[in-house]
Amino acid sequence: MNDLYADIYEIVKKIPAGRVTSYGAIASCIGSRGSARLVGWAMNASRHLPFFIPAHRVVNRNGMLTGKHHFATPETMRELLENEGLTVINDQIVNFSEVFWNPLKEPGIEKKEF
């Protein structure tokens, strides 16, 4: 595992329950602004990791569950999000702006660049 993936996992693991973030925010945290796709690949690889990664709390900028199809079952992501108090309708998070968790705004996050 590279440090890049480690940073991604560190940030994702720090996401509080009932909150969601976007790939771009994480990508910005690690310094690669346009490398949001790397976060997606990291999430896909997170399944193979021994520890649990709340990848269901990571959605795209639109708040749409684009990666639900990559979970064990497409319903897994929605179930997990609803279990944390979030509302998901038609693969879309309701009140996304309110439940959005910005890692750049949170202290204790290793910010590479701005």
Partner DNA sequence: ACGTTGACCTATA
Partner DNA sequence: GTATAGGCCAACG
CB-based burial, 30-64: b 16+ in 10 Å, e otherwise: bebeebbebbbebbeebeeeeeebbbbbbbeeebe
Which listed residue (40, 80, 88, 101) binds DNA by CB under 7 A?
40
Which listed residue (9, 23, 80, 81) binds DNA by CB under 7 A?
23
Q: How far apart are CA 103 and CA 68, in angstroms?
A: 22
Does residue number 112 form part of the binding site for DNA (CB under 7 A)? no
Contact residues toward DNA (CB under 7 A) are: 2, 4, 22-24, 27, 32-41, 43-44, 46-47, 55-56, 58, 60-62, 66-67, 69-71
